[in-house]
């Protein structure tokens, strides 16, 4: 389902919060809100698009597929995050597959007109640069997770940096994300609980000793 949005709605989005009234009036002409169900695919790797996607509410799994058709998890995208990869500021690239992990709301923006806007708006360009920096940090996390960290460090890192996801997802899904076995995840969580670093309250994991937990991967 797709619907138009209001200027007031756009003001609630961090990427557009500093735009002038005139810029918002232009933006509203090229933006719509689209709802996606859990499990839907937003795009596949190497697809070409003339639209930019921004996750307003929800959760998206970004993954690739190896030559044996196995999924290789990369990272999650959360609410109020730019989904699309804009390369050289003038092209949209799809370097992986994007699948919705929960029901989500996505802003769909006409790229050609949006490009004209951010090229003439220092505020909007600065916000886009900050979004690109977030993507760069995600890639650094992937390198650490897959090359440097052992199983315990992977779990500790996720607990510190992504506790919301940890409590939203099933343990099997978390194990998949961290590229460890579900049994290994269970053993690590029991060890961290016995050590007093985490606990379970009303079915959710809470951090009890964040400093010691952080020492595991820093």
Instruction: Answer yes or no: do 177 and 201 share one domain.
Output: yes
Instruction: Answer yes or no: do 98 and 12 share one domain.
Output: yes
Query: Last residue of some domain: 69, 99, 134?
Result: 134
Instruction: Answer yes or no: do 154 and 130 share one domain.
Output: no
Is residue 210 situated within a structural domain? yes
User: What pLDDT, in 10s, does the model give residues 12-71?
Assistant: 898 898 888 888 999 999 999 999 999 999 999 888 888 999 999 998 988 988 888 888
Q: To the nearest whole number, what is the mean pLDDT of the chain?
A: 88
User: What pLDDT, in 10s, does the model give residues 66-118?
Assistant: 888 888 888 888 888 888 877 655 666 667 899 998 899 999 999 989 888 88
CATH number at residue 108: 2.60.120.10
Assign 3-state DSSP to the chain and report helix, strand, coil percentages, each to 5. Answer: 45, 30, 30
Number of domains present in the structure of the chain: 2
Query: Last residue of some domain: 100, 134, 168?
Result: 134
Instruction: Answer yes or no: do 115 and 157 share one domain.
Output: no
User: What pLDDT, in 10s, does the model give residues 183-217?
Assistant: 999 999 999 999 999 999 999 999 999 999 999 98
Distance of alpha carbon 187 from alpha carbon 34, whole angstroms = 41
| Sheet of strand 31-36: strand arrangement | 2-4, 31-36, 104-110, 51-57, 81-82
pTM for the model: 0.76
The whole domain housing 189 covers 149-215
Distance of alpha carbon 53 from alpha carbon 33, whole angstroms = 10
Distance of alpha carbon 204 from alpha carbon 164, whole angstroms = 10
Which of 146, 107, 154 is CA-nearest to residue 4? 107
CATH number at residue 153: 1.10.10.10
Instruction: Answer yes or no: do 129 and 159 share one domain.
Output: no
Instruction: Answer yes or no: do 12 and 120 share one domain.
Output: yes
Query: Last residue of some domain: 86, 108, 134?
Result: 134
């Amino acid at each position: 389902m797709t619907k138009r949005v209001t200027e007031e709605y756009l003001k609630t989005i961090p990427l557009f919060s500093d735009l002038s009234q005139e810029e918002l009036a232009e933006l509203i002409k090229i933006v719509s809100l689209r709802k996606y169900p859990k499990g839907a695919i937003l795009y596949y790797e190497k697809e070409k698009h003339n639209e930019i996607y921004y996750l307003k509410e929800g959760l998206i799994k970004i993954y690739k597929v190896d030559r044996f058709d196995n999924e290789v998890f990369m990272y999650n995208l959360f609410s109020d995050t730019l989904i699309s990869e804009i390369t050289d500021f003038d092209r949209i690239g799809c370097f992986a597959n994007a699948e919705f992990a929960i029901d989500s709301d996505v802003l769909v923006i006409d790229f050609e007109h949006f490009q004209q806007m951010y090229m003439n708006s220092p505020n909007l360009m600065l916000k886009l640069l900050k979004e690109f920096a977030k993507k760069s940090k995600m890639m650094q996390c992937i390198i650490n997770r897959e090359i440097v960290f052992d199983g315990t460090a992977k779990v500790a890192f996720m607990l510190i940096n992504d506790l919301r996801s940890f409590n939203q997802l099933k343990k099997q899904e978390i194990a998949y994300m961290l590229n460890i076995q579900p049994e290994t995840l269970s053993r690590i969580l029991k060890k961290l609980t016995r050590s007093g670093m985490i606990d379970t309250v009303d079915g959710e994991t809470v951090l009890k000793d964040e400093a010691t937990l952080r020492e595991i991967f820093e």
